[in-house]
Amino acid sequence: MSANNHLSKPGSGGMQRHLDRAEVLAAVVAQLRKDLAQDEQDFPAPPVGEEAFEQLRAQVRPVLAERLGQGMHELQVAMYRVDIPEAHLKRTLAAGGVDALAGECVLRALQKVLTRLRYAGRW
Domain ranges (residues) in the chain = 2-119
Q: The pTM is what?
A: 0.86
The pLDDT value recorded for residue 5 is: 40
Q: Which residue in 109, 84, 119 sits closest to 26, CA to CA?
A: 109
| Average pLDDT of span 63-86 | 96
pLDDT digit string, tens, across residues 22-45: 999 999 999 999 999 999 999 999
Residue spans of alpha helices (H) in 37-71: 52-70
pLDDT confidence of residue 123? 66
CA dihedral (100, 64, 75, 38) positive or negative: negative
Q: How far apart are CA 54 and CA 69, in angstroms?
A: 22
Query: Closest Cα partner for 20 from 60, 56, 64?
Result: 56
